[in-house]
Amino acid sequence: MLPDLRADFPLLTRTVRNGKPLVYLDSAATSQKPHVVLNAEAEFYQFHNAAVARGAHLIAEEATEAFASARADVAAFVNAETDEIVWTENATAGINTVANGMANASAGIGGTASARFRVGPGDEIVVTETEHHANLIPWQQLAARTGATLTWIPVDDDGRMILDDLASVVTERCKVLAFTHASNVTGIISDVAALVARARDVGALTLLDACQSTPHLPVDVKALGVDFLVMSAHKMLGPTGIGALWGRKELLDALPPSVFGGSTIKTVTMTETSWLDAPSRFEAGSQPVAQIVGFAAAVRYLSALGMDNVAAHERAIARILREGAAALPGVRLLGPVGNDPLENMLGLAAVVVDGVHAHDVGQVLDDAGIAVRVGHHCNQPLHRRFGVASSTRASAHVYNTEDDARAFVAALATVRTFFGVAA
Amino acid sequence: MSQLEQMYQQVIMDHARAVHGRGLKDPGLVSVGESFQVNPTCGDEVRMRVGLDGERIASVSWEGQGCSISQASVSVLHELVEGETLEEADRIIEAFRALMQAKGEGLDEEREDLLGDATAFVGVGKYPARIKCALLGWMALKDAIIQAGRDTDHD
């Protein structure tokens, strides 16, 4: 378990409606930021701000050093090599970098070096039914542009990927398999090993959406065995506007870029350009250096806590959230109900209250000072699979306490009475 | 009355529990317009159908699903607008929009009279995230009237 960390997060000390203390349970949407992250950004601007990798002056050297060491910090956080980390605007941009790079390769850009990224008619792009829209739409569009076919691994009534007949979904025609490390709706942690093994059997590339795992679990890109992985700083106690794409170096060096501009090139003529190796080829134009420095401070903060400790802490909160919610009359917990899967669950609970819309549920919780997410959480297909349009999601992070989880359950218990639908 | 109770006034709760005008009707009129609107953040949706008899809105019917605010709002809309002239409906639509932008303050007496039961939505104006719930049906109404050929009639 973690110590009480709330004093590290200035926003958590403020009050909300009617002066109530804030219970922030919306971290799967975005996390709050500790002083060390806020200070890192401010100090960069106050003392080290200059154009990176350009100037011949002291401040430029300091800015360039801060930029480079941040990349090393984020790489170390996921056990990657430093030059395998590409800065992206967010995880969405990271996925688009890969999907659009594959579209460019399919159009012949990159020549034979990028041939392994080509997809076309007869090829299959495979996702899962539990993906966030960000890990579905780029692949839908890649299929639409190239004539490849999009297929997906279905989920069962609890939202678990159905892996029994994986071989019939991930076939020899599969060129890329994109899937989430952990669901932002059910909290289920995916069986990465099984999916990677099958993808390797058929020679398919793999991309892991690690948005919901890197903030909460130990993540080791080498142990996972995937080819690409994306993460988003703002869910990891870091700033908004910055994320990272990790990829195997030989793949990143062959993938054509899809955003073009300065700092990405070896040589340019009026008609042709040759690209630098990764990561530079993907980092066109000025980079958000202060956010990158803040991102590095965030992963250092998480590393100091220990990701095993973070995971254990959030599992304890998950138990209260999930068991508490599931035990309430007229409340349906989306995803598995019961104790045994908690080892494979994130610290979140998405619920549907019988007879009360998610917006109305969220409003009652808000009135009690409890901040949650309402809606479909950018995951309409999974909600449709569950037969609902939307849900109310409470999601924890390092700063939450078991009392926060109890406050959620207690407020949730009042919802049906308020709307006059309790028996 | 708590802030929450100010938003969920009894009129709203009653309408949400027993909505009016649900179920698309065939108005049997020449000028029929339909509009489908969604709230992309939550997937709430409403399909609104209006039938015009000259300058009068003879029929308003709808189907859809959503939160209590959106459902009650479209129910109240049905009560207020069906049978009214286009000119009067315009005034009601604009008054409701003004109420949503009033940050929880009321409107002048003339417009509150125009809105009747719909003034119960005053508290929604304090919650920016919920204003679009309340406006969903009204946006569908405005569009459905246009679809019914009102503009081409005037041109």
CATH of residue B43: 3.90.1010.10
> Is residue A411 located within the same domain as residue A379?
yes
Q: Please judge whether B17 and A420 are an interchain contact, meaning their C-beta atoms are less than 8 angstroms apart.
A: yes
pLDDT of amino acid A55: 78
> Is residue A333 located within the same domain as residue A383?
yes
Three-class SS state of A297: helix
Within a domain: B154: no
Q: Centre a 10 Å sphere on the Cβ of residue B103 and count the other Cβ atoms it contains.
A: 11
Within a domain: A332: yes
CA–CA dist B100, B120 (Å, integer):
11
pLDDT of amino acid A340: 58
My answer on whether omega of the bond before A279 falls inside 30° of 0, hence cis, is yes
Domains: count for chain B: 1
In 3D, which of A396, A314, A307, A415 has the Cα closest to residue A355?
Answer: A415
Give burial (CB, 10 Å; 0-12/13-18/19+) of B3: middle
DSSP labels for B25-79? ----SSEEEEEEEEETTTTEEEEEEEEEETTEEEEEEEEEE--HHHHHHHHHHHH
Q: Which domain holds residue A206?
A: 42-302
pLDDT one-digit tens code per residue, A363-385: 999 999 999 999 999 999 999 99
Q: Centre a 10 Å sphere on the Cβ of residue A124 and count the other Cβ atoms it contains.
A: 21
> Is residue A298 located within the same domain as residue A332?
no
The residue out of A302, A323, A349 marking a domain boundary is A302
Within a domain: A55: yes
Within a domain: B57: yes
Residues of A in Cβ contact (< 8 Å) with B68: 356-357, 360, 419
CATH of residue A53: 3.40.640.10
Q: CA of A346 to nearest chain B CA: how many angstroms apart?
A: 23
Residues of A in Cβ contact (< 8 Å) with B43: 375-376, 380, 383, 389-390
Residue matched to tokens 């709430």: B44
> Is residue A311 located within the same domain as residue A245?
no
Residue A343 exposure: Cα atoms within 13 Å on the Cβ side: 2
Within a domain: A284: yes
> Is residue A15 located within the same domain as residue A60?
no
CATH of residue A402: 3.90.1150.10
Residues of chain A falling short of pLDDT 70: 339-341, 423
pLDDT at B154 over 70: no
Catalytic residue among A378, A388, A413, A422: A378
Q: Is A89 on the interface with B (CB under 8 A)?
A: no
Q: Which domain holds residue B138?
A: 3-149
Q: Which of A363, A365, A391 to mutate to test the interface with B (most CBs of B within 10 A)?
A: A363
Alpha helices in A33-172 (DSSP H): 35-43, 58-77, 91-106, 137-146, 166-169
Residue matched to tokens 């799967």: A28
Please report the ipTM that was assigned to this predicted complex: 0.87
Tell how far CA A48 is from the center of its chain.
30
Q: Is A378 annotated as catalytic?
A: yes
Q: Please judge whether B65 and A389 are an interchain contact, meaning their C-beta atoms are less than 8 angstroms apart.
A: yes
The residue out of A287, A302, A317 marking a domain boundary is A302
> Is residue A290 located within the same domain as residue A399?
no
CA–CA dist B42, A383 (Å, integer):
11
Which of B2, B17, B42 is nearest residue A359 as measured by Cβ atoms?
B42
Within a domain: A350: yes
Top-confidence residue, A263 or B119: B119
Domains: count for chain A: 2
Beta-bridge partner residues of A394 = A349
The residue out of A270, A302, A334 marking a domain boundary is A302
Cα distance from N-terminal residue to C-terminal residue, chain A: 39
Which of B2, B3, B42 is nearest residue A390 as measured by Cβ atoms?
B42
> Is residue A192 located within the same domain as residue A320?
no
Q: What is the mean pLDDT of residues B138-144?
A: 96
> Is residue A288 located within the same domain as residue A195?
yes
pLDDT of amino acid B155: 43
> Is residue A272 located within the same domain as residue A371?
no
